[in-house]
Amino acid sequence: MEIKKNDTFTVQIEDMNEDGAGIGKLDGFIWFIKDAVCGDRVEAKAIKLKKTYGYARLMRILVPSENRVKPACPAARQCGGCQLQAMRYEAQLAFKERKVQNSLVRIGGLDGGVLPFELIIGMENPWRYRNKAQFPFGQGKDGGIIAGFYAGRTHTIIEQEDCLLGVEENQTILTLIREHMKKTGIRPYDEETHQGLIRHVLIRKGFRTGELMVCLVINGRSIPGAGELVDALRKLEGMTSISLNVNREKTNVIMGRELVNLWGPGCISDYIGRIRYRISPLSFYQVNPVQTEKLYALALEYAGLTGKETVWDLYCGIGTISLFLAERARFVYGVEIVPEAVKDARENARLNGIKNVEFFEGKAEEILPAQYEKNQIRADVIVVDPPRKGCDVACLDTILKMSPQRVVYVSCDPATLARDLRVLCDGGYEVKRVRCVDMFAWSVHVETIVLLSKGEVDSKKIRVEFSLEDMDMSEFQDGATYPQIKEYVLEHTGLKVSNLYISQIKRKCGIEVGKNYNLPKAEDSRQPQCPPEKEKAIREAFKYFGMI
């Protein structure tokens, strides 16, 4: 039947897209349904139609997926922060692995059959993990002052002062600020009229130190009764820094460039591992310190330092990774475009007594070529942790010219990661290790770390292996991903198994596998058969993951 706008229909959710929306198909037409989970059977209402696909609103869950859970936060559907709160945490991890794998294969053109994926590192406790929160202030329908988060793809504020991902102190701080605003007649900022004073409140906490920072983003240069507000906030245990951030622009950018310190040193400190970091309101600092320590330990492991290497850390921020690397490297050079971050990085090196580092202020794509070509500063290892847009072309070109033995790429965006890996691989590098780290539980975002090393690529070997591998990415249909099965087999038996062998045993067990579009065209081509000991190990993995 033909479905029109505002029609309701029933559909089975077969997959999920990169934004966490459920995907269903009816008569070849694809529907994207927010808040639906793979495996759900739902009733949905058509809200927007294109030629071959459309968007629908979830109306009812008719048959819930085995991976569906009740969201812990009452504002989960309205708030734009958590896209996956209705999904079991273990299923989220599988979803994120698949998301990265798909990007590397489809965008990066890498061979999914031989990608050296390692099991994703999840969280032991995926709640209260964020050390930073930015709350917009606004006016509610009743005229009262509200704080919370923006609804997805809008600037409508959903009132929520106790986000379960943030620290418990957030709610107390917001209450004190709102009470002060009522007492002094301060109005929240209105984006449409550009009137009102309080735009956002930035709150940060050092998880190891317990230090708290409050920074009010204002449409002005001061606030009425600032002394009284400071006195109230200072009474909170751990309060260390209170400041104002001036942002008088008609913009969606949260933070302005000017800071006005009201009380305290203007910063807080925290530790990752043994390294102490100075964090100012404008500093970039990973929001999940527990998982960050695991991520940086991986970066150090991938770098393979012996104490003799010269290392470049590009997009270094306040020197978080740089200082980790400096403990094992001969010398580390960091590059960062944000002046305040560079200042913090230098101070962090001083605080920790680390002298074998130097930080440059500027664009990585400009600093790196200049230092390489003019000063002949070489690199044994280059670490990159770029923003979501990935590395600049000039930066990638210089990496290829400098030709370090190893490149460690840390990414928060699978698509730009895949694009940049393609450039580096075309330039003579091989992907040696890939691992995801879940830094953002209940959201669709994930960090990925990749090790690339120099070496001649046996293109003939890769081409033959690629023609034999089944590109089966059906995470949720088969109970476990190929990398998870490989990891289990290796850990429990010490055997390495290929996607081809897993696919063969899947077929023997009657488990559906994806269609192989890359089979050899020659009729007499032969595929190697899975040895008995590996078949036994794979079957044990299937049993462990509940597949047979």
For 475, half-sphere exposure in the C-beta direction (CA atoms, 13 angstrom radius) is: 21
What are the φ and ψ backbone dihedral angles of 29, each rounded to 5 degrees?
A: -95, 135
Q: How many CB atoms lie within 10 A of CB 360?
A: 21
- Which pLDDT belongs to residue 373? 85
Task: Output the CA–CA distances (angstroms, integers) from residue 226 to 189, 358, 444, in the order listed.
Answer: 17, 39, 39
Using one digit for the tens of pLDDT, what is the confidence trace for 30-69?
999 999 999 999 999 999 999 999 999 999 999 999 999 9
Question: Who has greater pLDDT, 284 or 216?
Answer: 216
Average pLDDT rounded to a whole number, residues 419-438: 97
19/409: higher pLDDT: 409
* Statement: residue 477 has pLDDT above 70: no
Q: What tens digit of pLDDT does each residue of 525-541 get?
A: 456 889 888 998 888 88
Q: Which pLDDT value is given to residue 541?
A: 81
- Short-list 148, 191, 182, 101, CA closest to 435: 101
Instruction: Answer yes or no: is pLDDT of 128 > 90.
Output: yes
pLDDT of residue 472: 36
Residue 398 burial class via C-beta count within 10 angstroms: exposed 0-12, middle 13-18, buried 19 and up: buried
Q: What pLDDT, on a 0 to 100 scale, did the predictor assign at position 522?
A: 41
Tell me the mean pLDDT in the region 461-480. 36
**pTM confidence score:** 0.79
- Lowest-confidence range among 230-244, 360-374, 462-476? 462-476
Least confident of 224-238, 321-335, 470-484, 521-535: 470-484
Work out the average pLDDT over 431-456.
94
Residue 490 · residue 524 · CB < 8 Å? no
The answer for residues whose C-beta is within 8 angstroms of residue 521's C-beta and 6 or more apart is: none
Taking residues 227-240, report their average pLDDT: 98
Question: In sequence order, what are the beta bridge partners of 410?
Answer: 449
Which of 410-414, 458-462, 489-493 is the least confident region? 458-462
Residues 4-29: tens digit of each pLDDT: 999 999 999 999 998 999 999 999 99
Encode pLDDT of 156-186 as tens digits: 999 999 999 999 999 999 999 999 999 999 9
| Mean pLDDT, residues 327-333 taken together | 96
**Which pLDDT value is given to residue 369?**
87
Give the residue, 483 or 350, on which the prediction is more confident. 350
The closest of 265, 276, 274 to 213, measured between CA atoms, is: 265
- Is the confidence at residue 507, as pLDDT, over 90? no
Percent share of the chain, pLDDT over 90: 74
Residue recorded with tokens 């209105």: 190
Q: Is the pLDDT of residue 333 over 80?
A: yes
Least confident of 395-399, 470-474, 532-536: 470-474
pLDDT for the residue 79: 87
- Of 79-88, 432-441, 456-465, which has the strongest mean pLDDT? 432-441
User: Burial code of 316-342, b = ≥16 C-beta within 10 A, e = fewer?
Assistant: bbbbbbbbbbbbbbebbbbbbbbebbb
pLDDT tens profile 191-212: 999 999 999 999 999 999 999 9
Closest to 258 measured CA to CA, from 173, 339, 194, 149: 339
Q: Which residues have CB under 8 Å from 532's CB, separation 6+?
A: none
What value does the mean pLDDT take over residues 417-430? 96
479 pLDDT band (50/70/90 cuts)? Answer: low
Q: What pLDDT does 514 receive?
A: 52
Measured CA to CA, the distance from residue 125 to residue 128 in angstroms comes to 8
pLDDT attached to residue 484: 72
Given a cut of 50, whether residue 446 has pLDDT beyond it is yes
Q: Supply φ then ψ for residue 533, to 5 degrees.
A: -65, -35
Per the model's pLDDT, the better-predicted residue between 285 and 45 turns out to be 45
Chain segment 484-505, per-residue pLDDT in tens: 788 778 767 778 888 888 888 8
Bridge-based pairing of strands 275-279 and 268-272 is antiparallel
Residue 157: predicted pLDDT: 94
- 466 confidence band (pLDDT: 50, 70, 90): very low
| Active site amino acids | 412
**Confidence (pLDDT) at 252:** 86
pLDDT tens digits, 87-123: 999 999 999 999 999 999 999 999 988 899 999 999 9
Closest Cα to residue 54, out of 79, 29, 77, 36? 29
Read off the pLDDT band of 381 (50, 70, 90).
Answer: very high
Q: Which domains does the chain have, with CATH numbers?
A: 1-68 (2.40.50.140), 117-124+288-457 (3.40.50.150), 132-268 (2.40.50.1070), 468-544 (no CATH)
455 confidence band (pLDDT: 50, 70, 90): low
At residue 2, the pLDDT reads 86
Phi–psi pair at 440, nearest 5 degrees: -135, 65
Sheet strands (E) in 18-131:
22-26, 29-33, 41-49, 53-63, 117-121
Confidence of residue 516 (pLDDT cuts 50, 70, 90): very low
User: Residue range 313-323: average pLDDT?
Assistant: 95
pLDDT at position 483: 73
Contact 432, 453 (CB under 8 A): yes
pLDDT on residue 93:
97
**pLDDT for 136 beyond 90:** yes
242's tokens: 């209170």
Q: What angle do CA 386, 298, 394 make, to 5 degrees?
A: 25
